[in-house]
Structure 1
Amino acid sequence: MSLIGGIRPPIATLAALLLFVAGVTAFTLGRVDEKPLPEAVLTSQQHFAEDGAIALRASLDESVTDLNRAAALFNAGEPVSPDAVLDKIGSVYQKWRGTAIIEIESGRLLAARGENLPLTTIDRGKLGEENGLAPRMVRLENGETRLLSFALLSWEGQPQQLLVASGSLRFPGISLGKFRAIAVIDSSGSILSSDGIPEPEQVLTDLQRKEVEQSNKQLKAFAETAAEKARAHPLKAKDPGSGGFLGVSGSLVGEVYQGERSAAGYATLAAPKPGESTVATSLGLTVVAMVGVAEDPTRTTDTVFGLAAAGVLLVIGALAVTLLLGTVQRPLIRLFLESRRLTRGDLRRPVSVPRFGETARIGHALERLRLQLLDGTGGPDGAGHADAAPAPARASRRLGTRAMLAVCAALLLLWSAPMVLLLNRAEDTAVIPQQLVNDQRERTDTLTDRVRRALNEGHADLVSVASLIGDRTAPEAMATVLERTAYEHLRYQSLYVLDAEGKILAQAGEEPRHPAGQGPGVEPIAVLGEGGKEPIIAGYAEVPGREGAAVVGEFRIDFLNSLLKRPGLGEVRVVDAERRVIGGNTGYRAFQKLPSDRLDALVAGSNQQVGMSPRPSSVLYRDGDGPQVAASAPFVGGGAAKPLGWTVVSWQPASGLEIPEYTFRNRTILAGLLGLTAAAACLGWLHIVVVRPLRELARQAEALADGDRRTVLYPRHHDEVGAVVRSLELIRQALLEQRRRDGAAAPSPVGRI
């Protein structure tokens, strides 16, 4: 018999698969979930820490790049005084806490702005070595940590000077809400800076002081654990194929204090592309975000349902397998044995005929063939032998093996269909933690600030380039500066100098898309190309001494969209003051409205709150197709991008979050789908391998019993059905041999008178 064919393998496989599905059902739906907080809350804290790590890494790298580029622009021009350099840098960038210029050879301080810098920590003798100008962290006397960045100022005929800038390790534009703390730690777990926890001297009551002490204690414990986990390799710290954040990240669960359990996320500073390294990533910093989450005392896990569902499947599966064994497998094996007996010449006993179906038809045909063999004439009547019984009537065709398969499929569908379609519907009963709604708002607000700062940084670069170009008349010199800027900053699609009449004096990058004959815009950043397929975001910076000329930078729309691609926020859109879509993290149509009126109303409400300035807001919708978490955050900071009036809005269905009710529903659906798959695969296999050949065999057996001696019977498969076919072929040959013998023994009519 064939190992993969025949009647036994499909039924045995069905029994094994149903037993497996019952085990999966009991294990996934019947186990007790001991996690103190929903997985969605922990994942949200991990994403929050990743947002902070991305923002901090981008800020540190941007600061170093801006300082080096500013020094390069000064080096390309005429020598200027140290005070003029610092004044110009301070007017363009407001990101450093302190700046200074020292003479490298003598170490003399030439100029300084802002806070005092620890210049004594700088080893001037190592500045010429490899990585001698790499930024470094220093700790001040008050315990705060500063990041010192360096750049060289050198003009021909003058001593080399060192430009030093001091920046803090605080997060730019991270929205913490009311109850969250965030910290930057080094590789040893020491906290370098933190936000969100008040200083002990700022609290007013003993209760508040205890809360602060508990928060600091828990944050230090999280910092030590996160530092240890951050030492793992990014690829080994994640599940295979998880993708997402390129660094090491995760979540932690802490102690319970006054009914709230501490939860934290951690993330290392990672480069924006795999395999790369930046200045910030080489510092070995990790971000830890902590928040207190109220536990739900009513949340329990029902283990009875899983065990009951598994038990019902075992009963139904046993019934279906028993039905297949009793109505398909055993009758077919009996026919196989009976046909073999007839081919061996044992014709004394009548054929044991099954009660119904194709096997009954084949059994009746075998009995008729036995009678024909006993008759000895090879004819179809089979009534000439003395021991022959009357020919049996044919079996009914109404109830066959296909009907038995249909009954088994209905039994299994009776269990699987409710699991997939009816049981454990979570749309109306799911408890969405308020922390997820708050996190959606805070993360969207952080994303808004990130977009605003990116545009402000881009405009600051244009201002710096415009001040360097000044009243230079040679287009080649202007083009050189533009090309260097475009090479250093990939955020620009094209850079060009535009005069007051709209004439392009110099350009770099792709072809400008500014309207022909139109001069520079009045606003520092404007959106052009309304109604087109792609928004044109252009920044303008007036060139000193050129009578209305300006440096224009067209931002890549892909650059804007890349800022919005953060996991765990769902769909994200940037809309303008008229609530038209400018950018997004997924497919969208430019200048179109938001997909629903309620999102439009959410954006309008966050921008027009009564008696208050625009502020981020979030909401949980429970109407429509299911619960949906949405948030909106308008531009509220300063800078060149503020007049745009943009808003970032995000939304996602709650069904995609790892909430216990939805997880339980998904596991229920999975169990039902596994049951459907097992039934469809095994019953389909049985129909193809056994039922269809069995129906054809019944037709051939009845035709042979009716007298068809010319059709040769040959087996298609080496299984039970094929064995019966071979036996019928042997019986056909025996009947032909009897007919030939009878024809030779009869007297010939030829020659009679």
Structure 2
Amino acid sequence: MSLIGGIRPPIAVLSVLLLALAGVTALTLGRVGQEAVPKAVKSSQQHFAEDGAIALRASIDESVTDLTRTADLFNAADPVPADAVLDKIGSVYQKWMGTAVVEIRSGKLMAARGENVPLAAIDRSKLSDDHGLDPRMVRLENGETRLLAFSVLAWKGQPQQLLVASSSLRFPGISLGNFRSIAVVGDDGKVLSTDGIPEPEQVSTDEERAEVKASQTQLKTFAETAAKKSRSHPLLSKEPGSGGYLGVSGHLIGDRHLGERSVAGYASLAAPEAGESTVATRLGLSVVAMVPVAEDPKRTSSSAFGLLAAGALLLIGGLTVFLLLRTVQRPLIRLFLESRRLTRGDLSRPVSVPKFGEAARIGAALERLRRQLTGEPAAKARPAGRRKLGIRTLVAVAGVLLLVWSAPLLLLLNRAGDTVQVPQQMVNDQRERTDTLSDRVRRALNEGHADLTSVASLMGAKTEPSDMDKVLESTLNQHSRYRSLYVLDHDGKVLAEAGGDPRGAGDEPSDRPVRVIDEDGKEPVIIGTAEVPGRQGAAVVGEFRIEFLNSMLKRPGLGEVRVVDENRKIIGGNNGYREFQGLPSGRLDGLVEGTGQKVGGKPRPSGVLYRDGDDIQIAAAAPFAGGGAAEKLGWSVVSWQPASALAIPEYTLQNRTVLAGMLGVTAAAACLGWLHIVVVRPLRKLAEQAEALADGDRKTVLYPVHHDEVGAVTRSLELIRQQLPSGAQRKRDGASAGLAGRN
């Protein structure tokens, strides 16, 4: 018999699939809602930590790049005093806590600004090594950690000087909200910096001090666990094909305290491109974000529904398989055995004829053929009523039985309606993450304008256009945020350029540091301008790549994200959009407008949960706030997503219920369809051929379609056809018998 054909394989596979589906149903539907903290909340903390890791990595890399590029610009110009170097840096960038210039050979301090830089931790003898200028972390006596970045000032004829900048390992612009804490963790599991947890001496009551100490202890435990997990390879730390964050990330569950459970997300610093490394990623840092989440014991559901559904499937599936075995498989195997008996010449006993269907028709035809082979009188008529209930009807009944179980799961049961409970923490996280994203976009534009200001201030009045081209080309290669860089004189004439075609040429330089122009193209044109001192209105102009802006908005777990201008027209987004189109709904317009209104002296981010029947949506908006050239744009970041996209127990139960129904329908369609192709259709055709053969058709040769039970019966009928006398032979036999009688 064929391995994939015949009556047995489809029914056997159907039995196995139904058993497996029953087990999956009992396990998956029974476990939904048994966790007091929903998976959506845990995943959100993981995404929060990833946001922090991205912001920290970008800040460190940007800081090192800015320091190196600034030193290169100084080295390309005439020598200046160390104090002038630090003053120029301080006027352009405000990111470093302390800066200093040291003569490398003697170790003499040439100039210093800000807090004292820990120069004693610098080994000047190793500065000539390949990694001698790599940033390094230094722990101060007060327990705080500083990150030191280095660059060399080298002018011809003067001793080399080391430019040093120190910064803290704190997060730039991370919105924590209430009760959340975030920490930077070293590769040894030690906490290097924290935000959101006050010191015990900063609180007034003993109860508050106890809570602070408990939070610090829990955070240290999370930090040690996160450091261990972060040492694994990113590809080995995730499920195959899961994608997502390029580094190691995940979530952790802590102890329960006063009805709340600590939930943390962790993420290692990862490069923006897979397989690459940056200055920040080589430091071995990780980020841990922790928040207490209130547990709701009422949300915990039992496994009764899963067990009942699995039991019902076993009952209905067993009845279906029994029906197929009793009414389809057994009669066909009986026909196979009876046909083989007749071909072997055993014609002494009548054929055992099944009761109904095509098997009954074939069995009746075999009995008539047996009588013809033995010379007995043939039956006068075919069995009445055996055509009414065919094998197609039996298979259809089996399909209906399986649909009785699958259809309610697919269409009716466990529907998540308008009573779905969305955790408040999800609304808070949507708001805080949107605010963090808004600050990141604002800082990126501010950094871009600061770069332009630095380039413009170092060009001065004496720089030749050929030297300008070199400076612009070097800046363009060091930063991916620019599409093109160029210098315009006061009439709008291009003096030097690098990158793409200048789209802001022809007009005199704008007095706005960052602006947007629309040339009726496919994307907005974002332009930054910085005046060149001493050149009578000339300015350095940089055009930001819109892809750079959009890439910052691609964060999982936030849904649709848009950057809108002061008129609520879209500038950028994390997926497809049309330039300067409006937001998709009026309530989002109202949300953005409301966040733009100042509360307590500055605009505040907001998050809201919209309910419209079964349609539940989480939305948040955050305006640019915090200063800098980009704040004057009046832009906002708005995000929204349906609650059904989150791993909330009600939606998870609905999705798994629908999936179970779909699997049931698929198993039934696949196996019964298989049965119809390899058994039902050949058997119906064989019934017609068997009846025609019994009625006297001796010319039609019977060929088996498959090498299975139906094919075996077909071969037996062909052998019987060859044994039966043809019409001409019967006439000759009759004539011979008449002559013998007259003689």
Q: Shorter-chain TM-score: which interval?
A: over 0.9
Q: Distance in 1 between matches of 2:217 and 2:392?
A: 70
The equivalences for 1:622-633 within 5 A come to: 622-623=611-612, 626-633=615-622
CA spacing shift, 1:83–1:66, aligned 2, 3 Å? same
* Matching residue within 585, 589, 598 for 1:596: 585
Q: 1:50 maps to what in 2?
A: 50
For 2:80 and 2:139, locate their aligned partners in 1 and report how far apart those are by CA, in whole Å.
32
Distance 1:314 1:107 in 2: 82
Mapped partners of 1:399, 1:672: distance in 2: 29
Asked if residue 663 in structure 1 is aligned to residue 657 in structure 2, the reply is: no
Q: 1:74 to 1:322 in 2, by over 3 A?
A: same
Deviation readout 1:28-70 (Å, 9 max, x if unpaired):
2234865442121111111111111111111111111111111
Map Cα deviations across residues 559-616 of structure 1 (whole Å, 9 max, x no partner): 1111111111112111111111111111222211122222222212211266663211
Please tell me whether residue 221 in structure 1 is matched to residue 210 in structure 2: no
Of 245-254 and 552-561, more deviation after overlay is shown by: 245-254
Q: CA deviation at 1:371?
A: 3.2
Asked if 2 retains the 8 angstrom alpha-carbon contact of 1:187 and 1:227, the reply is yes
Native 8 Å contact 1:222 1:252 kept in 2? yes
SS at match of 2:602: coil
Residue type of the partner of 2:697? D
Equivalents in 1 of 2:698, 2:349: separation in Å?
24
Q: 1:388 to 1:102 in 2, by over 3 A?
A: closer
Give the C-alpha shift of residue 742 in structure 1.
4.8
Which secondary structure does the structure 1 equivalent of 2:292 belong to? Answer: strand
Structure-1 separation of matches of 2:13 and 2:592: 56
CA contact (8 A) 1:530 1:591 kept: no
Q: What is the alpha-carbon distance in structure 2 between the residues aligned to residue 305 and residue 7 of structure 1?
A: 34
Q: What SS does the aligned partner of 1:746 have?
A: helix
Q: Of 423, 426, 434, which residue of structure 2 is paired with 1:436? A: 426
Corresponding position: 1:527 with 2:501: no
User: Residues of 2 paired with 1:391 and 1:398: CA distance?
Assistant: 16
Specify which of 432, 436, 439 is matched with residue 449 of structure 1.
Answer: 439
Relative to the length of structure 1, the TM-score reads 0.94
2:468 is the alignment partner of 1:478 = yes
Read off the aligned partner of 2:562 and give its amino acid letter: R
Instruction: Quote the Cα distance in structure 2 between the aligned partners of 1:51 and 1:235.
Output: 19
Q: Does 1:245 align with 2:249?
A: no
* Alpha-carbon distance in structure 1 between the residues aligned to 2:701 and 2:464: 97
The residue that corresponds to 2:337 in the other structure is: 337
| Conservation of the 8 A alpha-carbon contact between 1:189 and 1:223 | yes
| 2:280 equivalent in structure 1 | 280
Match of 2:61 in 1: 61
In 2, distance between residues paired with 1:695 and 1:392?
A: 16
Residues in 2 aligned to 1:130 and 1:140: alpha-carbon distance in whole angstroms: 26
Per the alignment, do residues 609 and 166 of structure 1 end up closer, same or farther by CA in structure 2, a change over 3 Å counting? closer
Amino acid at match of 1:519: E
Q: Distance in 2 between matches of 1:354 and 1:748?
A: 38
2: CA distance, partners of 1:369 / 1:438: 82
* CA shift digits 1:329-375 (9 cap, x unpaired): 12222222222233333444333322222122222322332333344
Q: What is the alpha-carbon distance in structure 2 between the residues aligned to residue 264 and residue 100 of structure 1?
A: 38
Closer, same or farther in 2 for the Cα pair 1:652/1:33, shift >3 Å? closer
Q: Are the aligned partners of 2:25 and 2:309 in contact in 1 as well (CA < 8 Å)?
A: yes
Residues 33 and 299 in structure 2, CA contact (< 8 A), matched pair in contact too: no
The CA deviation at 1:556 is 0.8
Q: Judge conservation of contact 1:361–1:394 (CA < 8 Å) in 2.
A: no
Checking the alignment, whether the CA contact within 8 Å between 2:139 and 2:145 is kept in structure 1 is yes
Amino acid at match of 1:478: M
Please say if 1:400 is aligned against 2:390.
yes
SS of 1:641's equivalent? helix
Equivalent residue number for residue 121 of structure 1:
121
1:154-553 superposed matches below 5 A: 154-375=154-375, 385=376, 389-393=379-383, 395-472=385-462, 474-514=464-504, 517-529=506-518, 531-553=520-542
Bigger mean CA deviation after superposition, 641-650 or 705-714: 705-714
Cα distance in 1 between the residues matched to 2:582 and 2:32: 46
Quote the offset at 1:508 in angstroms: 0.5
What are the superposed Cα offsets for residues 295-353 of structure 1, whole Å, 9 maximum, x if unpaired?
01211222111111111111111111111122211222222222223333344433332
The CA distance in 1 between the partners of 2:707 and 2:189, in whole Å, is 70
Contact 1:361 1:395 in 2 (8 A): no
The alpha-carbon deviation at position 140 of structure 1 amounts to 2.1
* Alpha-carbon displacement from aligned partner over 1:72-116 (angstroms, at most 9, x marks no partner): 101101111111111111010000111111222222222211112
CA distance in 2, matches of 1:164, 1:345: 105
CA distance in 2, matches of 1:624, 1:524: 46
Alpha-carbon displacement from aligned partner over 1:118-137 (angstroms, at most 9, x marks no partner): 22222222222332222222
Which of 685, 688, 695 is the equivalent residue of 1:699? 688
Kept in 1, the 8 Å contact 2:568–2:583? The answer is yes
In structure 2, the residue matched to 1:381 is none
Change (3 A) 1:329 1:121: closer
Question: Residue 635 of structure 1: CA displacement?
Answer: 0.4
The reply to whether residue 615 of structure 1 matches residue 604 of structure 2 is: yes
Hey, what does 2:666 align to over in structure 1?
677
Q: 1:540 is paired with a residue of what secondary structure?
A: strand
| Cα drift, residue 230 of structure 1 | 2.2
Rounded to whole Å, the distance in 2 between the matches of 1:410 and 1:608 is 61
Cα–Cα, structure 1 residues 392 and 107, in superposed 2: closer, same or farther, change >3 Å? closer
Deviation of 1:496 after TM superposition, in Å, equals 0.8
Give yes or no for contact 2:8–2:329 (8 Å, CA) kept in 1: yes
Give RMSD over aligned pairs. 2.1
| Cα 1:92–1:744 shift into 2, 3 Å | same
Aligned 8 A contact 2:35 2:300 in 1: no
Distance in 2 (CA, whole Å) between partners of 1:327 and 1:744 is 42
Secondary structure at the aligned position of 1:197 is classed as coil
1:718 maps to 2:696: no
TM-score by length of 2: 0.96
- Assess, with a 3 A threshold, how the Cα gap between structure 1 residues 31 and 614 changes in structure 2: closer, same or farther: closer
Contact 1:472 1:478 in 2 (8 A): no
1:676 counterpart SS class = helix
Offset of 1:235 from its aligned partner? Answer: 2.4
Cα distance between partner residues in 2 of 1:469 and 1:187: 42
Take 1:105 and 1:285, find their aligned partners in 2: how far apart are those partners?
32
Task: Give the C-alpha shift of residue 261 in structure 1.
Answer: 0.9
SS at match of 1:55: helix
Structure 1 CA distance, aligned partners of 2:15 and 2:193? 61
- Aligned partners of 1:482 and 1:508 also within 8 Å: yes
Name the residue aligned to 1:80: 80
Could you say which residue in structure 1 is the equivalent of 2:698?
709
* Matches of 2:524 and 2:181, distance apart in 1: 38
The aligned counterpart of 2:549 is 560
Q: Percent identity?
A: 71
- Opposite residue 480 of structure 1, the aligned amino acid is K
Q: Is the CA contact 2:418–2:614 (under 8 Å) kept in the aligned structure 1?
A: no
Structure 1 residue identity aligned to 2:110: L
Of 36-45 and 618-627, more deviation after overlay is shown by 618-627
